[in-house]
């Protein structure tokens, strides 16, 4: 009988698998925006100039700013206007989403269902994070966008990942992750968190991505309150997404919904009301 490998060896094997998955480098525009916004005194003019260098991106930002999500009192016609009307942080969250979609939205990484769900999750999380005050809306938006970003990366790296996904989608909570781990030695939560960390995304978002199938974290007071709030809100948004898509039930909500409702101090009726409000954001 073969000896059980030491934990250090197992960890090294897992690390090598994760390292073998291609993580796209942080896009230059995203890095430049993060640096400018990170200044003690960020200059809106400079941020507008950075965004305006990419005409297509600037146009998409204006389209997003003029959408029903923001319900602005007048038409936004320039990047400067967008920054003034919806704010630097909201513009940054929108740009992060646009840059990510542009980078990963083509070729073998393209998955129509993935992007549809990601966009709904970003909108729903932005709304619910603000409504429940668990986090700023832009933090909710960015988490929603990056929550499952490991999925297209896993698909691109592992030829049989779509078969894995079809099996894992019948599971929920940590069972989903365990199926990925058994078949590939890593999972989309780890890979997604790795990308988010390397791209300089907020540490609370990175932690939430890493644990977004771990509902025991909702009981763990050592986990930051923002992370627990985002985890709980994500389950409500997931429930709303499944209902909009005509799914009979949300397996994730069945696995962690009761804990999430407790964490958000919501009754069953309040959860249903929140779901209806979230669905209107789609």
- State pLDDT tens for residues 182-201: 999 999 999 999 999 999 99
The end-to-end CA distance of the chain, in Å, is 56
Q: With contact defined as beta carbons under 8 Å apart, do 189 and 173 qualify?
A: no
The CATH architecture of the domain made up of 108-282 is Orthogonal Bundle (1.10)
3-state secondary structure of 192: helix
Tell me: pLDDT of 8 over 80.
no
Output the six-digit token pair for 133: 């005050």
3-state helix, strand, coil in the chain (%, to 5): 70, 0, 30
Tell me: pLDDT of 228 over 50.
yes
Domain ranges in the chain with CATH number 1.10.3210.10: 108-282
pLDDT tens per residue across span 75-112: 999 999 999 999 999 999 999 999 998 888 655 444 67
């Amino acid at each position: 009988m073969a000896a059980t490998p030491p934990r250090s060896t197992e960890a090294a094997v897992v690390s090598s698998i994760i390292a073998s998955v291609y993580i796209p480098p942080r896009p230059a525009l995203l890095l430049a925006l993060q640096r400018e916004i990170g200044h003690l005194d960020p200059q809106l003019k400079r941020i507008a100039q950075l965004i305006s260098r990419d005409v297509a991106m600037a146009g998409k930002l204006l389209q997003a700013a003029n959408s029903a999500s923001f319900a602005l009192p007048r038409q936004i016609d320039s990047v400067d206007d967008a920054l003034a009307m919806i704010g630097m942080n909201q513009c940054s969250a929108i740009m992060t989403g646009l840059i990510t979609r542009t980078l990963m939205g083509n070729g073998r990484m393209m998955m129509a269902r993935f992007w549809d769900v990601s966009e709904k999750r970003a909108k729903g999380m932005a709304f619910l994070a603000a409504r429940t005050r668990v986090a700023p809306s832009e933090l909710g938006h960015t988490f929603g966008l990056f929550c499952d970003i490991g999925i297209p990366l896993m698909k691109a790296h592992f030829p049989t990942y779509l078969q894995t996904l079809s099996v894992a989608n019948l599971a929920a909570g940590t069972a989903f992750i365990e199926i990925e781990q058994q078949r590939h030695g890593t999972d989309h939560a780890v890979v997604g968190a790795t990308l988010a960390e390397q791209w300089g995304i907020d540490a609370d978002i990175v932690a939430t991505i890493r644990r977004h199938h771990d509902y025991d974290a909702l009981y763990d007071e050592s986990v930051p309150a923002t992370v627990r709030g985002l985890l709980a809100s994500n389950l409500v948004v997931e429930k709303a997404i499944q209902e909009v898509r005509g799914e009979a039930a949300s397996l994730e909500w069945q696995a962690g919904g009761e804990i999430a409702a407790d964490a958000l101090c919501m009754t069953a009726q309040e959860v249903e009301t929140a779901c209806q409000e979230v669905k209107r954001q789609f």
